[in-house]
Amino acid sequence: MARILGIETSCDETGIAIYDGEHGLLSHALHSQIALHNLYGGVVPELASRDHVKRIIPLINNCFAQAQIDKSTIDAIAYTAGPGLNGALLVGASIANGLGFCLDKPVIPIHHLEGHLLSPLLGQHKPQPPFIALLASGGHSQIIMVEKIGKYRLLGDTLDDAAGEAFDKTAKLLGLPYPGGSHIAALAKQGIDAYKLPRPMLHSNDLNFSFSGLKTAVSILIDKIKIKQELTLEIKHNIAKSIEEAITDVLVKKSMLAIKKIGINRLVISGGVSANLTLRDKLNKIENIEVFYPPQNLCTDNGAMIALAGHTRYLAATYNYSFVVNPRWQLSEL
Q: Does 301 bind Mg ion (CB under 5 A)?
A: yes
Which of 106, 119 has the CB closer to ligand ATP? 119
Instruction: State the minimum distance, in angstroms, from the CB of residue 331 to ligand ATP.
Output: 11
Q: What is the number of the residue whose Cβ is closest to Mg ion?
A: 301
Q: What angle do CA 226, 227, 230 make, to 5 degrees?
A: 35
Q: What angle do CA 2, 292, 30 make, to 5 degrees?
A: 55
**Cα–Cα distance between 329 and 20 in angstroms, integer?**
27
Which residues here bind ligand ATP, judged by CB under 6 A? Answer: 11, 112, 116, 137-140, 164, 167-168, 179-182, 185, 271-273, 275-276, 300-301
Instruction: State the minimum distance, in angstroms, from the CB of residue 305 to Mg ion.
Output: 9
Q: 92: closest CA among 68, 119, 60, 123? A: 60
Report what 31 binds from ligand ATP, Mg ion, none; CB cut-off 5-8 Å by kind.
none
Q: How many CA atoms lie within 13 A of 297 on its CB side?
A: 7
**Could you tell me the maximum CA-CA distance found in the chain, to the nearest angstrom?**
68
Instruction: State the minimum distance, in angstroms, from the CB of residue 70 to ligand ATP.
Output: 31
Which of 20, 161 has the CB closer to ligand ATP? 161
Report what 92 binds from ligand ATP, Mg ion, none; CB cut-off 5-8 Å by kind.
none
**Cα–Cα distance between 164 and 137 in angstroms, integer?**
5
Adjacent-strand bridge partners of 293:
none
**Cα–Cα distance between 115 and 96 in angstroms, integer?**
16
Q: Does 114 bind Mg ion (CB under 5 A)?
A: no
Which of 138, 310 has the CB closer to ligand ATP? 138
**Cα–Cα distance between 54 and 91 in angstroms, integer?**
10
In the shown chain, the binding pattern of residues 143 to 182 toward Mg ion, with x for contact by CB under 5 A and - for none, equals ----------------------------------------
Binding residues vs Mg ion (CB under 5 A): 137, 301
